[in-house]
Chains A and B, each alone.
Chain A
Amino acid sequence: MTVQSKSEFKPTDAIREAAAVVARRPTRALLTALGTVLGVGAFVATTGIGATARAQVSSRFDALKATEVRVQDAALNNENPFPSDTDQRLEALNGVRHAGLFYEVPSSSTTSPRSTIVRRSQAAETIPVIAATPGAIKATHPTLGMGMLFNDFHQSRSERVVVVGRVAAEQLGITRFDGQTFIFLGDTAYAVMGRLDDVDRDPELLLSVIIPESTAAKNFDTSTVEREVLIDADAGAAQLIGTQAPVALRPQDPARLRALVPPDPATLRNSIEGDVESLFLVLAIVAVIIGGVAIANATLVNVIERRSEIGLRRALGATKLHVAIQITIEAALTGAVAGVLGTTIGVLATSGASIARTWTATMDLRIVAVAPLIGVATGAVAGFGPSLRAARTPPAETLRQ
């Protein structure tokens, strides 16, 4: 004769029984789940804030850093590698808004600006003199306080005019910018055309006196200066302009020039945020592991406490596998609670961080959907060991207690 009816534990019954056990002590379940809550929460918040930041990188970064190209002389040999029509050649390129050449005129007693014709007997604080083409000044996004900027007319005629930075104007005591005020470079008077109150790029211009590049080349020794071209490009065009500018400026020998382009903004952001995300993801994984250990420990204690119940279930016909399944489901349910709570906390943290920065929260819904499953998986894995121990519980021994 054989055993015809087999012991059976339906999946729905297993889940119901496990849920009843977890719900029996909700506070304990929550405390047990705490580590996993933090782990899942950190995972969701990290990915959420990362995604939000990627979508919300400031326009200033994009507009200023990602649209700036500089071209330098790659082989300094006291020759000017840039053509006289630098501005025009570059501004003819698609994607270039403004471009121009600039350099600092070597400082000496002859060029040190002063507001009086008489030279000071003692050296005063030196004010830098910058030679710049009109396009270079425009490429700095200048804010003109008073007067006007010099232009192509002044550049082409090497006019003796200057624009002074706000700080330099204060140092020189200049208050009028109507062309009737002069400063002296050496013994030569230069008409003050205007005052720069602010620039987005190269803020040292505010400390300087700026003269047309052609004027500097005509009146001063510029053989040893380090020239640089500043290009203000359209958003997204910098990489291309960086390859085109040397060819446009020096088609016969573009290798002589070196273009400095900003790193691709998306790549840079992904790289920086990727590093941050990696760090937080590692922390999240560590938290999940700690949470798993906590669940495993609590489940083990639970199994030891419930030896008589497990013995009873065995007496009622549960197989070892049935017992192991129930204990594993109990741990998985605890993990599920942790997963749901952690996901909620992660979403709230992402929303809070976004609101604080007036960003629009951006989250990958797949992450939100998958995150609770991390808790379930953590619980199930953590409960596996204790479930085996529970399955090995000898029923006769436990029921005697």
Chain B
Amino acid sequence: MSLLVAEDSVATDQQIVARVEGLSRTFVGPPPVAALQPCDFEIRRGEFVAVTGMSGSGKTTLLSLLGLLDAPTSGRYFLDGIDTAVMTDRQRSSVRAFRIGFVFQAFHLLGYRSVLDNVELGLLYQGVGRSDRKKRALAVIEDVGLSSRINAPCAVLSGGEKQRVAIARSLVREPALILCDEPTGNLDKATTSQILGLLDGLHARGLTIVMITHDVAIARRASRRLSISDGTVTEVPRE
């Protein structure tokens, strides 16, 4: 199987954020389900990669593996050059705490906690002190345009605001890789546009983003596209 890389050049190790080699995931049944066939690809620092595919194609499985939320059945996954396949659960937690940011379709906010609390939550397991946490969280909340809603419980926010909070919670961690799982799946058209604009801005600032989406139109905004079908990952040529 050939290694999927960006078309323009061969990257050095320092330019590569994530590299997978023969990564696969099969869920034990019965019956066993091969959600992700062995695949190889690299993601370079600063890339905005969209992964498209139909429902059940294996998109979220791939995202879970990239986010170390799940362990592969076979293959290797290097994140910032670290081989995650040999890690203990505790080490994987540490990698998640410091190097990966998540943005979910369902937001996954604590509705009874304030915007500030939810963004601070992104730093909770990094051992950052409370005052420093607050300072960094306030800065990121301002970045996503929610300064006026700092103390509002997340349960009362609109969908777009909730996703901004989720993005802020991810950004505050200063991760090497931001993984977005259908970030606009629960949003209307106008709000989708706002969130995509926000992600474009993050990309422009040099952040590495991998976005799962079933919407090809949204995927076209990414700098690179991977397609997944029946668990098989393929590179989508630039249009």
A contacts with B, residue count (CB < 8 A): 34
B residues less than 8 Å from A158 (CB atoms): none
Instruction: Tell me whether A3 and B95 are in contact (CB under 8 A).
Output: yes
Instruction: Tell me whether A396 and B70 are in contact (CB under 8 A).
Output: yes
Instruction: Tell me whether A317 and B89 are in contact (CB under 8 A).
Output: no
A48 to chain B, nearest CB (A): 38
B residues less than 8 Å from A7 (CB atoms): 90, 93-94, 96-98, 125-127
The contact of B124 among A1, A5, A9, A309, by CB within 8 Å, is A9
Instruction: Tell me whether A316 and B96 are in contact (CB under 8 A).
Output: yes
Instruction: Tell me whether A2 and B89 are in contact (CB under 8 A).
Output: no
Instruction: Tell me whether B82 and A2 are in contact (CB under 8 A).
Output: yes
Interface string of B93-118 (1 = CB under 8 A from A): 11111100010101010101100010
A residues less than 8 Å from B87 (CB atoms): 3
A308 nearest in chain B by CB position: B108
A residues less than 8 Å from B81 (CB atoms): 1
A391 nearest in chain B by CB position: B89
The yes or no answer to B144 lying at the interface (CB within 8 A) is no
B residues less than 8 Å from A9 (CB atoms): 124-125, 127
B155 to chain A, nearest CB (A): 11
B97 nearest in chain A by CB position: A317
The yes or no answer to B38 lying at the interface (CB within 8 A) is no
A118-B60 Cα distance, complex, nearest whole Å: 121
Instruction: Tell me whether A319 and B90 are in contact (CB under 8 A).
Output: yes
The contact of A5 among B67, B89, B104, B126, by CB within 8 Å, is B126
A315-B180 Cα distance, complex, nearest whole Å: 13
Instruction: Tell me whether B125 and A322 are in contact (CB under 8 A).
Output: yes
A20 nearest in chain B by CB position: B113
The yes or no answer to A120 lying at the interface (CB within 8 A) is no
The yes or no answer to A269 lying at the interface (CB within 8 A) is no
B residues less than 8 Å from A1 (CB atoms): 80-83
Contact A314 B69, CB 8 Å, known A3-B91, A396-B64? yes
**386-401 of chain A: CB within 8 A of chain B:** 394-396, 399-401
Instruction: Tell me whether A5 and B97 are in contact (CB under 8 A).
Output: yes
B139 to chain A, nearest CB (A): 18
Instruction: Tell me whether A24 and B112 are in contact (CB under 8 A).
Output: yes
Instruction: Tell me whether B108 and A396 are in contact (CB under 8 A).
Output: no
The yes or no answer to B122 lying at the interface (CB within 8 A) is yes
B residues less than 8 Å from A316 (CB atoms): 96-97, 102, 121-122, 124-125, 169, 173
A401-B104 Cα distance, complex, nearest whole Å: 10
A383-B106 Cα distance, complex, nearest whole Å: 29
Instruction: Tell me whether A314 and B93 are in contact (CB under 8 A).
Output: yes
A7-B126 Cα distance, complex, nearest whole Å: 5
A109 to chain B, nearest CB (A): 96
A residues less than 8 Å from B69 (CB atoms): 311, 314-315, 395-396, 399
The contact of A399 among B82, B91, B104, by CB within 8 Å, is B104
A318 nearest in chain B by CB position: B125
The contact of A17 among B80, B106, B124, by CB within 8 Å, is B124
**48-67 of chain B: CB within 8 A of chain A:** 60, 64, 67
The contact of A317 among B70, B98, B104, B117, by CB within 8 Å, is B98
The contact of B102 among A13, A315, A319, by CB within 8 Å, is A315
A9 nearest in chain B by CB position: B125
Instruction: Tell me whether B127 and A309 are in contact (CB under 8 A).
Output: no
Interface string of B200-228 (1 = CB under 8 A from A): 00000000000000000000000000000
Instruction: Tell me whether B108 and A312 are in contact (CB under 8 A).
Output: yes
A5 nearest in chain B by CB position: B98
Instruction: Tell me whether B93 and A399 are in contact (CB under 8 A).
Output: no
The contact of A315 among B94, B96, B98, by CB within 8 Å, is B96
A residues less than 8 Å from B91 (CB atoms): 3
Instruction: Tell me whether A315 and B106 are in contact (CB under 8 A).
Output: no
The yes or no answer to A200 lying at the interface (CB within 8 A) is no
A318 to chain B, nearest CB (A): 5
B residues less than 8 Å from A322 (CB atoms): 93, 125
The yes or no answer to A201 lying at the interface (CB within 8 A) is no
The yes or no answer to A60 lying at the interface (CB within 8 A) is no
A315 nearest in chain B by CB position: B102
Interface string of A11-33 (1 = CB under 8 A from B): 01100010010001000000000
A171 to chain B, nearest CB (A): 84
A311-B151 Cα distance, complex, nearest whole Å: 24
Contact A3 B124, CB 8 Å, known A312-B108, A399-B108? no
Instruction: Tell me whether B102 and A317 are in contact (CB under 8 A).
Output: no
A93-B89 Cα distance, complex, nearest whole Å: 84
B130 to chain A, nearest CB (A): 8
A232-B108 Cα distance, complex, nearest whole Å: 83
The contact of B89 among A8, A12, A17, A320, by CB within 8 Å, is A320
A2-B97 Cα distance, complex, nearest whole Å: 15
B residues less than 8 Å from A2 (CB atoms): 82
A392 to chain B, nearest CB (A): 11
A5-B60 Cα distance, complex, nearest whole Å: 27
B residues less than 8 Å from A17 (CB atoms): 124
Contact A317 B93, CB 8 Å, known A5-B126, A8-B126, A396-B64? yes
A319-B90 Cα distance, complex, nearest whole Å: 6
B109 to chain A, nearest CB (A): 8
Q: List 8 A-B contacts (CB under 8 A).
A: A8-B127, A9-B125, A9-B127, A24-B112, A309-B110, A316-B169, A317-B125, A399-B106
Which residues of A come within 8 Å of B, CB atoms?
1-3, 5-10, 12-13, 17, 20, 24, 308-309, 311-322, 394-396, 399-401
The 3 nearest A-B residue pairs measured at CB: A317-B97, A8-B127, A317-B125
Q: A7-B125, A317-B124, A318-B97 are in contact. List 8 more A-B contacts (CB 8 A).
A: A6-B127, A309-B110, A313-B125, A316-B121, A316-B125, A396-B64, A399-B69, A399-B102
